[in-house]
């Protein structure tokens, strides 16, 4: 189970990478493992303004439909359109080419866990 | 691995192969009262691909029920309780059929095996087992017939895929090539007594293997050891949905008759009296109350069970089974109002949005069963 130290996590199993005033979102290795083969991703529209905790994307596995929630607030500035053709990238590379969306942060945030806290959370 | 059993798991039945599923890394889920593998570590998509691309997929479907019907009036009894014409069966032949209520709606869909004169064998759905058996025992009171529920003693495996026959032949003491589609034979399989039928629920060539529980591990182990790939429930459902095969609780239930479910081809109104006949004949005369259709999304998305189906923007029905088919895209079976069976602009409502769809035919991908 991979939990990179340079990312923050939510209790709903999203990850966020904050770099300056942008933040990149995805779902954790644990989340993709639990969902199984991902076969469809619904991406947010560019320009949509997300409040922290808003459902902004949907990932669908063979059997399940799951909302993905924004770890921090901001305006969507980029989405990973490659996931429309290759949703399995979330399974094979959840922290890299399986990223879902990027926002311009506005300062609002859900409660974020660092890698150590997320690891503990998963073990509980 | 933590093998502690919670109270909830404790209530689930286990097939004779349960420990094998755990050993193979199966992700276990409750299904029809059994603890069953939904997938193995490779995942549902790879399992599906193995079966479609020519491997032999091995499924434990021991949760399904088996009922032996025998006696001088076995044929008369089955003519009365099932919808299809049992008199057309010859020894060694299988028939898809159904049990109906007096109201013409489904108790279950089944397969009927004719073993010999006065000797038949039924395969029934796991979730309907106790209901079916109670119904059959009740109706059997008027016939010189014996009805025995053998479900607890029987292991049922399915070996499906283009290489199923080649793999199975090495363990079987009869020539499998001589068993046609929907035919069966009793034989020795890995030395064990078995009933082998060329049937399945995947759209691929293959067999279903009925075994005494004591032979389950030996046969399963031999086939897995020889390259058969274990397949879980998720891939099984993908394979059957792509074929457009009905599943009890989805396309068929005690709320619909064969008229709605497009199963009049297994309902022989002219064979003589049977339970549900009058009601089905009346429904046929008055017309279906809803109609099962096959659809394919032209927009993006996955049409899933219970999603609303819209025609010309108005609610018309709902999806009963749907999936993302790796070959055909977003496909589904759905009930719509009869006037929409072939007319009107079709859409599926997915998370509040209407996604355009078109009517199509089943199977959604080409069937490769041996005809």
Q: Are B295 and B346 in contact (CB under 8 A)?
A: yes
3-state secondary structure B2-34: CCCCCHHHHCCECCCCHHHHHHCCCEEEEECCE
Interfacial B residues in 220-279 facing A (CB < 8 Å):
234, 238
Q: Please name which of A47, A32, A46 lies closest in space to residue A87, comparing C-alpha atoms.
A: A32
Q: How confident is the model at residue A122 (pLDDT cuts 50, 70, 90)?
A: very high
* Pairwise CB contact (< 8 Å): A39 & B324: yes
Query: Which pLDDT belongs to residue B3?
Result: 40
Q: Which residues lie below 8 Å from residue B225, measured CB to CB, with a gap of 6+?
A: none
In chain A, count of helices (H) and strands (E)?
A: 4, 9
* Beta-sheet pairing, B346-350 with B353-360: antiparallel
Closest CA of chain A from B20, distance in Å = 21
For the complex shown, is ipTM > 0.85? Answer: yes
Burial of B247 (0-12, 13-18, 19+ CB in 10 A): middle
Chain A positions with Cβ closer than 8 Å to B: 36-37, 39-40, 42, 58, 60, 62-63, 65, 84, 88
Cis peptide before B363 (omega within 30 of 0): yes
CA–CA dist A71, A53 (Å, integer): 6
Domains of chain A, by residue range, sit at 8-114
CA–CA dist B97, B84 (Å, integer): 5
Residues A38-82: pLDDT tens digits?
999 999 999 999 999 999 999 999 989 999 999 999 999 999 999
Q: Please name which of B60, B65, B36 lies closest in space to residue B130, comparing C-alpha atoms.
A: B65
* Pairwise CB contact (< 8 Å): A84 & B324: no
Select the residue of B43, B234, B324 nearest A40 (Cβ to Cβ).
Answer: B324
- Say if pTM beats, i.e. exceeds, 0.80: yes
Domains of chain B, by residue range, sit at 1-287, 290-360
Is pLDDT at A96 greater than 80 in this prediction?
yes
Query: Which pLDDT belongs to residue A22?
Result: 97
Alpha-helical runs (H) found in chain B: 7-10, 18-23, 44-52, 74-81, 129-140, 164-169, 216-225, 233-243, 277-286
Contacts of A79 in chain B (CB under 8 A): none
Query: Which pLDDT belongs to residue B4?
Result: 44
- With tokens 């006037």, the residue in question is B339
Q: Mean pLDDT, to the nearest integer, of A107-119? A: 96
CATH number of B1-287: 3.30.1360.120
Per-residue pLDDT of chain B (371 residues; tens, 9 = 90+): 334 445 455 689 999 999 999 999 999 999 999 999 999 999 999 999 999 998 999 999 999 999 999 999 999 999 999 999 999 999 999 999 999 999 999 999 999 999 999 999 999 999 999 999 999 999 999 999 999 999 999 999 999 999 999 999 999 999 999 999 999 999 999 999 999 999 999 999 999 999 999 999 999 999 999 999 999 999 999 999 999 999 999 999 999 999 999 999 999 999 999 999 999 999 999 999 999 999 999 999 999 999 999 999 999 999 999 999 999 999 999 999 999 999 999 999 999 999 999 999 999 999 999 97
For B290-360, which CATH class?
mainly beta
**Which SS3 state, helix, strand or coil, does residue B97 take?**
strand
The secondary structure of chain A in percent helix, strand, coil, rounded to multiples of 5, reads 20, 40, 40
CA–CA dist B154, B314 (Å, integer): 48
Q: Is B351 on the interface with A (CB under 8 A)?
A: yes
Instruction: Give the distance from CA B207 to its chain's centroid.
Output: 13
Output the average pLDDT for chain A. 97
C-beta neighbour count of A113 within 10 angstroms: 20
Q: How confident is the model at residue A99 (pLDDT cuts 50, 70, 90)?
A: very high
Q: Is B33 on the interface with A (CB under 8 A)?
A: no
**Which SS3 state, helix, strand or coil, does residue B86 take?**
helix
Q: Which residue on chain B is closest to A57 by alpha carbon?
A: B351
Q: Which residues lie below 8 Å from residue B273, measured CB to CB, with a gap of 6+?
A: B80
Burial of B129 (0-12, 13-18, 19+ CB in 10 A): buried
Closest CA of chain A from B21, distance in Å = 18
- Where on the phi/psi map is residue B203: left (φ > 0), alpha (ψ -120 to 50), or beta? left
CA–CA dist B3, B362 (Å, integer): 42
For A8-114, which CATH class?
mainly beta
């Amino acid at each position: 189970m991979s939990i990179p130290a340079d990312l923050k996590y939510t209790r709903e199993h999203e990850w966020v990478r904050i770099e300056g005033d942008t933040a990149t979102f995805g779902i954790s290795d644990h989340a993709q493992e639990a969902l199984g083969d991902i076969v469809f991703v619904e991406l947010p529209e560019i320009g949509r303004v997300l409040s922290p905790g808003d459902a902004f994307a949907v990932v669908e596995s063979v059997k399940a439909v799951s909302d993905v929630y924004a770890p921090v607030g901001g305006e969507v500035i980029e989405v990973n359109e490659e996931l429309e053709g290759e949703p399995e990238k979330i399974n094979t590379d959840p922290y890299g080419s399986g990223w879902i969306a990027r926002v311009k942060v506005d300062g609002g945030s859900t409660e974020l866990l660092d890698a150590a806290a997320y690891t503990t959370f998963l073990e509980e | 691995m933590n093998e502690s059993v919670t109270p909830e798991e404790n209530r689930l039945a286990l097939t004779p192969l349960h420990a094998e599923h755990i050993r193979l890394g199966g992700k276990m889920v409750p299904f029809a009262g059994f603890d069953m593998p939904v997938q193995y570590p490779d995942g549902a998509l790879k399992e599906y691909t193995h079966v479609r691309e020519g491997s032999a997929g091995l499924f434990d479907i021991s949760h399904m029920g088996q009922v032996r019907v025998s006696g001088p009036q076995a044929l008369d009894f089955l003519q009365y309780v099932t919808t299809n014409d049992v008199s057309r069966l010859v020894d060694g032949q299988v028939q898809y059929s159904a049990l109906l209520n007096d109201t013409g709606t489904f108790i279950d869909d089944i397969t009927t095996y004719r073993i010999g004169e006065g000797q038949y064998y039924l395969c029934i759905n796991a979730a309907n087992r106790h209901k079916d058996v109670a119904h059959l025992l009740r109706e059997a009171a008027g016939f010189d017939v014996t009805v025995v529920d053998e479900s607890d003693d029987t292991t049922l495996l399915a070996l499906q895929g283009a290489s199923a026959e080649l793999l199975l032949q090495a363990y079987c003491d009869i020539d499998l090539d001589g068993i046609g589609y929907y035919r069966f034979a009793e034989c020795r399989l890995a030395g064990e007594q078995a009933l082998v039928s060329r049937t399945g629920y995947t759209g691929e060539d293959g067999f279903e293997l009925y075994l005494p529980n004591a032979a389950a591990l030996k046969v399963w182990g031999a086939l897995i050891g020889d390259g058969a790939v274990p397949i879980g429930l998720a891939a099984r459902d993908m394979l059957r949905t792509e074929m457009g095969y009905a599943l009890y609780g989805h396309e068929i239930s005690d709320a619909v008759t064969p008229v709605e479910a497009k199963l009049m081809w297994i309902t022989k109104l002219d064979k003589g009296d049977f339970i549900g006949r009058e009601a089905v004949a009346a429904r046929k005369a008055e017309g279906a109350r809803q109609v099962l259709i096959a659809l394919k999304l032209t927009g993006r998305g996955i049409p899933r069970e219970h999603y609303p189906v819209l025609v010309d923007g108005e609610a018309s029905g709902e999806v009963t089974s749907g999936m993302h088919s790796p070959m055909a895209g977003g496909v589904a079976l759905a009930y719509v109002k009869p006037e929409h069976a072939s007319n009107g602009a079709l859409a599926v409502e997915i998370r509040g949005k209407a996604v355009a769809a078109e009517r199509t035919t089943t199977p959604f991908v080409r069937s490769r069963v041996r005809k």
